[in-house]
Amino acid sequence: MEESQPRIAFEQTPEGRSVRVQGRWTAESLSSIAHWESAQADLAALPADWQIWHWDLRALQRFDHTGAQLLWNSWHRQWPDTLQASPAQRAMLERVAKFSSKLPPRRISRATDHFLHLGAWVMGREEHVLGAVRLIGQLLLDVVQLVRHPRQAPWRDISGHIYRIGATALPITALLGFLIGVVLAYLMSQQLRQFGADAFIVNILGISLIRELGPVLAAILIAGRSGSAITAQIGVMRVTEELDAMQVMGIPKGFRLVMPRALAMTVVMPLLAVWTTLAALLGGMLAADMVMGLTPAYFVTALAKAVLVSNLWLAVAKSAVFGLMIALIGCHYGLRVLPNTQSLGEGTTTSVVTSITMVVLVDALFAVVFKDVGI
């Protein structure tokens, strides 16, 4: 056996049973797999009444904080009754004891464990809420700066986001809206025929599409399409350290990244909602003509009488809120991305799920608050 190998010797002395710690208990020596396994085996062989044995560290060749931490852990972070050590060794052990927890982690019940997990979840949500409040506050300050100094605004970025979020989404939103209108018209026609109420399909389609389905469908599509893109764009800037470079150069992230996307989404979302609603009404009108014989002229005339204009204004206002919310959620999770690809993927997924969930919740809130408007 090497003289420098960390080891423990059990001896019977006139004073009683003794444990002599020998060799080099240092980070360099314990980094050897053989030395580490030998030390672990010796510590595992400690008797149950180790605390009343006499511990002698004076034979140690070298001793540092790594060895002291290993010994302290093997003592279950409690001092033995008798310890013989040099002043330097004792000082090192006292330093380790000071910065280590005095007691091992206590066992907790399953109910307590669930309660602690709930508390951790609530604290995590509190962090998100505070981050969202800071983001909204910074956006308001940036808008004020935009109004006061319009020439300094990033108009090119805003127009570019309007094109990418709005113009490029026109085909997919129109297709989805058209198909939803066709499906709804076919399903409603089967039920209304049973009661001879064919003409009321215009009322049902008009209210459901203009007031609810059009804005919600457009918001869900944009949340999955553009909301995820916003998070991914800002997240990639975090991974490639572009955000750090902007901070070093003194470029405000809120004014250059968050505000253009938020303004563009707020402007585009109502237009996309109206576009999706028109496509859905067109699909419903064609399906009603083919299945129930309602002419397009009658459909348009009855629609104007059945649906009040206030429903359209409510849908537009609701869509603007949806757009602002999706943009802020996308920016919030993008700025929270860590500089690794796994965090980027998780942030993008969480952004989409959160955006869709919030769209449904806010739509339900609008339905309750404005239940007497346009009905």
Residue 360's pLDDT is: 94
2 assigned to some structural domain? no
Residue 3's pLDDT is: 60
CA angle 62, 66, 68 (to 5 degrees): 75
172 assigned to some structural domain? yes
Are 343 and 260 found together in one domain?
Answer: yes
Are 84 and 164 found together in one domain?
Answer: no
Q: How many domains does the chain have?
A: 3
| Spatial contact of 18 and 45, defined as CB atoms under 8 Å apart | no
Are 181 and 260 found together in one domain?
Answer: yes
74 assigned to some structural domain? yes
Instruction: Match 């996308």 to its residue by tokens.
Output: 330
Range of the domain at 83: 7-98
Which residues have C-beta within 8 Å of that of residue 210, sequence separation ≥ 6? 277, 281, 307, 311, 312, 315
Residue 105's pLDDT is: 54
Q: Mean pLDDT of residues grouped by 10 in the chain (375 residues)?
A: 71 74 80 77 74 79 81 77 82 80 57 70 74 89 90 90 92 93 87 76 87 92 92 90 87 89 94 94 89 84 86 92 94 88 88 93 90 74
Instruction: Match 């969930």 to its residue by tokens.
Output: 357
Are 219 and 73 found together in one domain?
Answer: no
Residue 17's pLDDT is: 77
103 assigned to some structural domain? no
Query: pTM of the full predicted structure?
Result: 0.67
Residue 38's pLDDT is: 78
Are 201 and 132 found together in one domain?
Answer: no
Q: Measuring CA to CA, how many Å separate 2 from each of 7, 23, 24, 154, 186?
A: 10, 8, 10, 71, 87
Q: Measuring CA to CA, how many Å separate 119 from each of 14, 112, 122, 125, 347?
A: 56, 10, 5, 10, 22
Instruction: Say how many C-beta atoms besides its own lie within 10 A of residue 255's C-beta.
Output: 19
| Spatial contact of 272 and 166, defined as CB atoms under 8 Å apart | yes
Are 255 and 126 found together in one domain?
Answer: no
105 assigned to some structural domain? no
Query: Which residue among 151, 179, 214 closes a domain?
Result: 151
Backbone dihedral region for residue 109 (phi beyond 0: left; psi -120 to 50: alpha; all else: beta): beta
Are 224 and 311 found together in one domain?
Answer: yes
Are 145 and 238 found together in one domain?
Answer: no
Are 80 and 208 found together in one domain?
Answer: no
Are 118 and 229 found together in one domain?
Answer: no
Are 61 and 197 found together in one domain?
Answer: no
C-alpha–C-alpha distance, residues 296 and 28, integer Å: 86
Q: Measuring CA to CA, how many Å separate 124 from each of 130, 151, 274?
A: 10, 40, 37
Are 197 and 72 found together in one domain?
Answer: no
214 assigned to some structural domain? yes
The encoded tokens of residue 206 equal: 């008009």
